[in-house]
Every structure is written in C-alpha cells, then in structure tokens.
Amino acid sequence: MPARDPAKRDWEDRIVVPVLYGFGVHLRYAFRVYPTRPQRQLLARTFGCVRTVYNDAVAARKSAHREGLPYPTTAELDKRLITAAKQTPERSWLAQVSTVPLQQALRDCHAAYKNFFDSLRGRRNGTKVGPPRFKRRSNTQTARYTRNGFRLKGNGRLSIAKVGDLKVAWSRELPVKPSSVTIVKTAAGRYYASFVVAVDDEADLLEPLAIPEAETGIDLGLKSFAVLRGGKTIASPKFFRAMERKLKKAQRALSRKRKGSANRAKARIAVAKIHEKTKAKRDDWLNKQVKIIIGENQAVYVEDLNVKGLSQGRIAKSVHDTAFGMFLARLESKAARAGRTFVKVDRFFPSTQLCSACGALTGPKGLDGLRVRQWSCGCGAEHDRDVNAEINIRREGERLVAEGHAET
C-alpha cells in the first residue's frame, strides 16, 4: 500500500478484538488484557529491553555490512547481545526481564532482514519491503513469548515470565494450546495478548459447491468497493470516509499543539485511538465480506492490485486503499483454508479496456478513463465498466486454471 510504513505493518493492521486470521495452518487470536500498574511497569521494562536488543541487532548487522564482514548469525547475536551484554554495566538491566522475548527480538530482526533481501531479489510478492529500521518508543510495543515464557492458568489468568498473572478479556475460546503469545501495547496505550494457534489443516474446510455459477471475478473499484458476478456490488462502507474525516481532524489538532507539551501527548493518543478503532471496524467488515464470498463461491478470481492506479483517483483514501490489500490477503487465506480456488490475474491484464462481448480493446483507458462508468463498443455491446471488468477477470482466471497456470 502506498504511504504505509512497512515497519508498522505487522501489528497495526492486525489488532482487533477478537481478531482471527490464518497464515498457513496457524491462526492468530487477540484479546484485550488489563495489566495492573506494577505489571505495566514490568511490561514497559520488557518492551524497552526487547527494543534495545532489536536495535542492537540492526546496528550489528549494519556495521558488519559497512565493514564488509559476513552478517552475524542469530546464535552469535544471542551470545553477544544478550548473554555477554548482561555482564556489562551498559546492558546489565537486560537481566531484569525474561530472556524469551529478547531471543524472539533477534528472530524478528532476522526475519525482517530476510524479507528485505527476498524483496530486493524479487523473491517476495507484494509491495517492496525496506531495510529493517531502528524501533522507536512511540510505536507499538511488542514482546513475544514462546511456550517456556507463558502459561494459561486455570483461573483464566495469563501468566507471563517475570511479569506476573495478567487479566484477560476472553471473548472466545482458544481451540488448542497456543504455541506463542505476543503482548502488545498499542500507541493509544491499550494492551493485547495475541496467541498463535496451530490448527487442524481441515478445520475450516467447506463442502465443495458443485454448481458452475458458484464462481466469481472480483473487480475492486473506487465507486463501490467491489463488483462480483452479475453486477452484484459490495458498497464501500460509509465509515471509511467518516473515520478518514475524524482522523484528519484529530491530526490537524495534533499539528497545532506545541512540541513536548502535555496537550500534544493527549492529542497523539486521540489520533492513535481513532486509528485503532478504524482498524477494528475495517477488520470486522472485511472478515464479514470475505466469509460471504468464500461461502458462496467455489472459485474466486481477482486482479492483482495495481496500487498506484487506484490511489490516483481523488476518491482514494488510505482507509479505503489499505482495505483492498487486506481484503485480498484474507480472501486468499480463507480460500486456502476452505478448499476454494483463488486465482490472481496479472495486473497488466486489461480487464477494463477489453470488451467482454467481442474481445476488442475498446474500453476506457488511462487516467481520463477512470471516470467513465458506461461505454459502448463498436460491436454494439453496451457496458457497465465494472460489470464488464468482472466478466473479463473471471474468464481470464478460468483460462489460467484450465491451462494449469494457476495453483488451486
């Protein structure tokens, strides 16, 4: 997505209560937690140590790069930046917190570099990933605990190593024992526990739909959020624009506050709260749409996002734009778990310009064409822009499947 900070992407987009989404055969469940004041202090210390170790790891890799040395491995960094560092006066305070989240910070740093290099070499789909950056205190804070760092207690409390027993607002049940938990503190000061749960591969599998009509293309747009088969539309929710307006207003208020003042800190929290609320509402809405589409269709064909093209229209706003990428990612994940076909059509496929009746490239083109809603082809066909695009995307998707180009 444009103008999105890749460093923020991980958490900022995922937090809702409860959130549930799949990656491979793993699901993530997030719940609000309410730490006591002393627990908040212990968590603040832990977040600080996690950030320090992460930043030290980035610094170590940067300096190795500058000096032309090989990148230090995670095991080397573990020895140097955790075990040895605890013996030094500058880093002795690392010993006050659990080692588990510190080791996870090194893993995160390693993963961030891997994503960056994969992206550089074109081995990674989606938007380009920048090099890992130093973490700052004002961002979302996280600490991840693997099984030896946390425990679920019979009384419903979540026990975290060297922090204590946290009160959790359980809004649904965890299907099996989680393999890890990440404690998150958002910019607005809310705390969450986000569990990763390995689930049965077939838990979400749906009965196959044997009717040929149960297939749809999806044309993402500006006028409506998406157009499905037969011109069925998913309207852009009104709250997208409403939240956008609220956000703008709060950001303007923030920009007027004096740097370092208490009012500025308050205004920053107000902005963060609107961000979080927006994400929660958007997540909820997206999950609903995805569920309906996957429930009703055996195969779903989408156009790979041309983010630039979409954001050039004046209607395009960040809430709306961001939602497209998330929508496709969830659709893909849900389709995989449900046993549905999901195919991405190449972004250069001219879905809008192609006349679905005769196959000529007679449709609206370029930036000016963005405004054209209806058009007619020389062959006599009259087209609604989005309905025509959906037909083309669906046919192209079906062709890819038939020719064995798409994995299903």
- In angstroms, rounded to a whole number, what is the distance separating the alpha carbons of residues 99 and 363? 60
355 scored as a contact of Zn ion (CB under 5 A): yes
284 is a catalytic site residue: no
Catalytic member of 332, 386, 390, 396: 386
- In angstroms, rounded to a whole number, what is the distance separating the alpha carbons of residues 170 and 288? 21
The pair of three-digit structure tokens given for residue 95, joined into one six-digit string = 């010993």
Task: Give yes or no for a contact between 72 and 80, defined as CB atoms under 8 angstroms apart.
Answer: yes
Site for Zn ion in 93-112 (CB under 5 A): none
Q: How many CB atoms lie within 10 A of CB 113?
A: 17
Catalytic member of 303, 321, 332, 390: 303
Min dist. Cβ of residue 337 to Zn ion (A): 39
Q: Between the CA of residue 45 and those of 31, 40, 59, 162, what are the distances in Å?
A: 22, 9, 21, 11
384 is a catalytic site residue: no
Instruction: From 73-81, 97-105, 250-258, 358-366, give the range in contact with Zn ion by CB under 5 A.
Output: 358-366
357 scored as a contact of Zn ion (CB under 5 A): yes
Answer positive or negative: Cα dihedral of 188, 193, 198, 200: negative
25 scored as a contact of Zn ion (CB under 5 A): no
Q: Which of 377, 391, 400, 406 binds Zn ion (CB under 5 A)?
A: 377
391 scored as a contact of Zn ion (CB under 5 A): no
Instruction: From 178-186, 214-222, 360-368, 392-400, give the range in contact with Zn ion by CB under 5 A.
Output: 360-368
Running DSSP on this structure, what letter comes out for residue 84? Answer: I
Min dist. Cβ of residue 359 to Zn ion (A): 7
Catalytic member of 219, 321, 332, 390: 219
Site for Zn ion in 297-326 (CB under 5 A): none
The pair of three-digit structure tokens given for residue 55, joined into one six-digit string = 């930043």
Q: Which of 214, 269, 316, 381 binds Zn ion (CB under 5 A)?
A: 381
132's CB contacts (< 8 A; 6+ apart) are: 7, 58, 61, 109, 112, 113, 116
Min dist. Cβ of residue 383 to Zn ion (A): 8
Give 141 or 392: the residue with its C-beta nearer to Zn ion. Answer: 392
Strands 191-198 and 26-34: antiparallel
Min dist. Cβ of residue 12 to Zn ion (A): 45
Q: Which of 69, 203, 358, 372 binds Zn ion (CB under 5 A)?
A: 358
219 is a catalytic site residue: yes
- Burial of residue 309 (number of CB atoms within 10 Å: 0-12, 13-18, 19+): middle
Residues in contact with Zn ion by the rule CB under 5 A = 355, 357-358, 360, 377, 379, 381
Active site amino acids: 219, 303, 386
